[in-house]
Amino acid sequence: MPSAIEVHNLTKQFGPLRAVDDLSFEVAAGRVTGFLGPNGSGKTTTLRMLLGLVSITGGTATFGGRRYLELDHPCRHVGAVLEATSFHPSRRAEDHLKSVAVGAGIPITRVAETLELVGLTDVARRRVGKFSLGMRQRLQLATALLGEPEILILDEPSNGLDPQGIQWLRNFIRHQASLGHAVLVSSHLLSEMEETVDDVVIVSQGRLVLQTTLADLAQRAGTHTGLRIRSPELPRLIGILEAIPVGYRQMSPDTLVIDGGTPEWFGPLAAQHQIVLYGLANETGSLEEVFLTLTHGFDAADPGLAAASAGAQTGPGPSGPAPTPGVTP
């Protein structure tokens, strides 16, 4: 099946800043693709280039081979929910949707249908200025769905939604994929997307870190373990760890995770240096950790190496994969 969305060597230069750098990935129909990366990693810029809102410095971003500008009825093929999009505060929800439907050549009957779909029928005649953030987000979704598009682009769609709303959104996204639609949904939190996505595209500093399936990412997570330590003497402990050296990540002022460490290895070490411990637990790798390691530990000079060395230490100290001193993790 041809890809619904194709991004090839996409680049965006904002003055001296290269926001998106030679980015390539594809989004398949009938699947949910998570577009993941920390804030400021170029996700929003990429999505806006796809939609013709931001000009492209280099490369291409197309839907079935055609740019958004070249689509005959763009709103009937591609629906988008973008951050920083807004509504005229004194316009009623229903009138907003009517203006879009009429402009995009979509039957006006879709207005009531989409309001029903996102659960805003009761407030259809209310002015959008009185809407909560969650209601605005639903109205944005209704706007995107007006043309019954086969491709959906959602930029951080769960912002502002309450837990019920997030659950609703997950079901909604899964349903769209089950209809054979392609869904590209961005987030800076993988944990938020774990239950929703089939594929992941991970970016950092405007570059592709990894495109793979969620299943593959989960496998990486399974092999990635460490030891979580809580101690009031963290600075001293860090000094000891760096002297060995061993990789670690500091999670909070009193907590760090030692890459590949085990209690059998660390217990004697702590006793030897008389370090006070409040907690010590085996860290079973989570997707979120793989994600954080991939995005933070990403060496911009060599994406291949960075992707291969998931689990590399990220704290200050020697570079390279974490040694596992004398123990098998």
Partner 1 sequence: MIPGVRSEWIKLRTTAVPWVMTGIATLITGLSILLIFLNGASGNGNGNGNSAPAFSIVPQTTQQLRNLVGAGVGSYIFAMLLGTLMVTAEFRHKTVTTSFLVLPRRPQFVAAKLVTAAVVSVGMAVFLLAFTVIGGGIGLAADGGSFSALIRQVPAVAPGMLLVFALFGILGVGVGSLLTNQVAAIIVCLGWFLIVEQIIIGIWHGTSKWLPSGAASAAANVTRGRGMDYGLFSWWEGGLLILAYGLIIAAIGSAIMAQRDIT
Name the token pair of 294: 């991939």
* Cβ-based nearer residue to partner 1, 155 or 283: 155
Q: How far is the CB of 213 from partner 1 (least distance, A)?
A: 30
Binder among 18, 26, 60, 104 for partner 1 (CB under 8 A): 104
Q: What is the rounded CA–CA span in Å between residue 290 and residue 185?
A: 19
Q: Is the peptide bond before 245 cis (omega within 30 degrees of 0)?
A: yes
Name the token pair of 323: 């040694």
Which of 163, 98, 176, 171 has the alpha carbon at shortest distance from 134?
A: 163
* Cβ-based nearer residue to partner 1, 89 or 239: 89
* 41 touching partner 1, by CB under 8 A: no
Binder among 34, 37, 42, 74 for partner 1 (CB under 8 A): 74
Q: How far is the CB of 139 from partner 1 (least distance, A)?
A: 11
Q: How far is the CB of 214 from partner 1 (least distance, A)?
A: 29
Binder among 54, 123, 208, 221 for partner 1 (CB under 8 A): 54
Query: 8 pairs with which residues across the strands?
Result: 60
Q: How far is CA 260 from the centre of its chain?
A: 26
Residue pointed to by tokens 């740019």: 67
* Cβ-based nearer residue to partner 1, 48 or 170: 48
- Tally of CB atoms within 10 A around 143: 24
* 133 touching partner 1, by CB under 8 A: no
Residue pointed to by tokens 């890809």: 3
Query: Given the rule CB under 8 A, which residues bind partner 1?
Result: 14, 44-45, 48, 51-55, 68-69, 71, 74-75, 80, 82, 84-92, 95-96, 98-100, 102-105, 143
